[in-house]
């Protein structure tokens, strides 16, 4: 609640030029289209096109987490020596070339090296697009959501296109990403100039957010941090296995129906201010964790004869993501204050998308392999019980040790 009043007390900001807003919205749309075309569908592609094993699929998603751990170092170099829009352009153009090479790979073992190389180009772009956008704003909390939401719109659009074209298990998913990455690579050089702002020597500690370590003196923040990392383990199960699991259940047009999750995400994003006033930080985070548990149970027990359960699992995405991860970003921002907020957010991103999802990708591959027989038939109920159990453990830890009072008064 304190964070909302802090936002409201800021003076009126200068409106952004319409031309700049359109450029930034297009940038977000293209960047998330590049991501959405392949990320959720890669497990199906690997299984059907390259005959990959469960652990090979897990390792492919692990490549993304490895890149997320390395990407802050690339970003730090960009902050000191190059304009952000030029780095974005170069990374997307190089990424387009690597995506073309990726389409030529026919061996699942070799694929890991290719997808790792591509992710090393893509991962820094997530922070770069946000940085470029926010540098053009006098009040990011007011201007950024309307621009960032174009990423969600893009994800919905591209996954529906994939679904209608029935290309989820074809090389076309990477070809689509390749084309859009090349387009964005060219357009990036026309974006508003975002020159390097950082000065002085590049310190490794600041890159990984060491100044934000002071937050660990607060027990509630420690619990939140542990919960954030731990819940990303089940999150990686969702991204890697939801698509093939829904297909195995008998659902058709899976990509199209999964896009309802992003629709839900957009709706619940708008409900966050109301939820803050009614629930507070602790119970918003707790509701997000409960939603993850229910969601995995729905994935496990749903099938073609009870498809509404699968729809429930998909639509819970908004509660799962917004109430825990977006609320967590706001909580971190409030706890950190102005001096270390960037490092605090970077630390959380590194720990969650890097460490948490990295562990989850590896574990998910092991669980999938253990529950898939020689005929490539997977016991999906057993697979989904693992992330459900992990989410349940995180919920218990969080309810027992996270203090609402500390969250309010920070």
> Binning pLDDT at 50, 70 and 90, where does residue 404 land?
low
Instruction: Read off the pLDDT of residues 45-92 as tens digits, 9 standing for 90 and up.
Output: 998 889 999 899 999 999 999 998 888 777 677 667 888 899 999 999
pTM: 0.80
In terms of phi and psi (left: phi > 0; alpha: psi -120 to 50; beta: otherwise), the region of 121 is alpha
| pLDDT, position 2 | 44
Return the exposure string of 352-361: e unless at least 16 CB atoms fall within 10 Å of the residue's CB, then b: bbbbbbbbbb
Cα(363)–Cα(60) distance, rounded to whole angstroms? 12
Mean pLDDT calculated for residue range 258-280: 84
User: Which pLDDT does position 140 carry in this prediction?
Assistant: 67
Q: Are 164 and 44 in contact (CB under 8 A)?
A: no
Give the pLDDT score at 7: 41
Q: What is the pLDDT of residues 32-49, one digit of tens each?
A: 999 999 998 899 899 888
pLDDT of residue 111: 95
Report which of residues 14 and 301 the model is more confident about. Answer: 301
Would the CA dihedral through 355, 124, 60, 37 be positive or negative? Answer: positive
Least confident piece of the model among 264-268, 296-300, 327-331: 327-331
Instruction: Judge whether 61 and 240 are in contact, CB under 8 Å.
Output: yes
Question: Model confidence over 333-391: pLDDT tens digits?
Answer: 777 766 666 667 777 878 888 899 999 999 999 999 999 998 889 999 999 999 999 99
Pick the most confident of 8-22, 257-271, 333-347, 360-374.
360-374
What architecture (CATH level 2) is domain 206-410? Up-down Bundle (1.20)
Residues 406 and 219: beta-carbon distance below 8 Å: yes
Q: What is the pLDDT of residue 8?
A: 44
pLDDT of 9 strictly over 50: no
- Share the mean pLDDT of the chain: 85
Q: Given this chain, do its domains 20-197 and 206-410 carry the same CATH topology?
A: yes
**300 token code pair:** 């496990």
> Which band of pLDDT confidence, cut at 50, 70 and 90, is reported for residue 328?
confident
pLDDT, greater one: 272 or 181: 181
pLDDT at residue 374, rounded to an integer: 84
Q: Which has more pLDDT, 31 or 332? A: 31
Q: What is the CA 11 to chain-centroid distance, rounded?
A: 32
- Taking only the tens place, the pLDDT of each residue in 183-221 is 999 999 999 998 876 566 666 666 666 677 888 888 888
pLDDT band at 1 (very low <50, low <70, confident <90, very high): very low
Quote the pLDDT of residue 334.
75
pLDDT at 166: 58
Q: How far apart are CA 388 and CA 403, in angstroms?
A: 24
- Tens-digit pLDDT profile for residues 130-188: 878 878 877 766 777 788 889 888 998 998 888 777 544 467 889 999 999 999 999 99
Q: Where along the chain do its domains lie?
A: 20-197, 206-410
- List C-alpha distances in Å: 398 to 8, 296, 334: 30, 19, 19
CATH of domain 20-197: 1.20.1250.20
């Amino acid at each position: 609640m304190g964070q909302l009043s802090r936002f409201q007390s800021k003076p009126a900001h200068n409106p952004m030029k319409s031309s700049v807003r359109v450029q930034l919205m297009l940038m977000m749309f293209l960047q998330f289209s590049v991501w959405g075309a392949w990320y959720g569908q890669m497990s199906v592609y690997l299984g059907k096109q390259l005959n990959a094993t469960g652990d090979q699929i897990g390792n492919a998603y692990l490549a993304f987490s490895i890149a997320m751990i390395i990407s802050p170092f690339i970003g730090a170099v960009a902050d000191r020596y190059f304009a952000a829009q030029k780095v974005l352009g170069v990374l997307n153009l190089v990424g387009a070339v690597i995506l073309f090479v990726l389409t030529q790979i026919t061996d699942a073992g070799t694929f890991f090296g290719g997808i790792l190389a591509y992710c090393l180009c893509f991962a820094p772009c997530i922070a770069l697009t946000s940085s470029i956008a926010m540098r053009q704003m006098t009040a990011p909390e007011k201007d950024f959501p309307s621009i960032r939401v174009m990423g969600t719109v893009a994800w919905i659009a591209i996954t529906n296109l994939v679904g209608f074209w029935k290309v989820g298990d074809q090389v076309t998913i990477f070809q689509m990403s390749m084309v859009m990455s090349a387009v964005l690579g060219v357009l990036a050089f026309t974006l508003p100039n975002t020159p390097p702002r950082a000065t002085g020597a590049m310190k490794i500690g600041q890159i990984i957010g060491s100044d934000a370590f002071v937050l660990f003196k607060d027990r509630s923040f420690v619990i939140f941090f542990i919960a954030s990392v731990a819940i990303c383990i089940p999150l990686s199960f969702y991204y890697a296995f939801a698509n093939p699991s829904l297909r195995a259940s008998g659902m058709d047009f899976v990509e199209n129906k999964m896009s309802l999750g992003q629709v839900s995400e957009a709706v619940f994003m708008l409900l966050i201010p109301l939820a803050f006033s009614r629930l507070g930080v602790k119970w918003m985070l707790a509701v997000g964790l409960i939603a993850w548990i229910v969601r995995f149970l729905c994935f496990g027990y749903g099938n073609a004869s009870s498809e509404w359960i699968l729809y429930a699992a998909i639509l819970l995405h908004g509660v799962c993501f917004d109430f825990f991860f977006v609320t967590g970003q706001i909580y971190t921002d409030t706890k950190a204050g102005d001096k270390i907020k960037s490092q605090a957010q970077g630390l959380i991103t590194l720990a969650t998308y890097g460490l948490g999802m990295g562990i989850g990708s590896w574990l998910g591959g092991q669980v999938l392999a253990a529950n898939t027989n020689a005929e490539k038939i997977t016991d999906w109920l057993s697979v989904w019980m693992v992330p459900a159990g992990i989410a349940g453990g995180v919920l218990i830890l969080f309810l027992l040790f996270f203090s609402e009072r500390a969250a309010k008064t920070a």
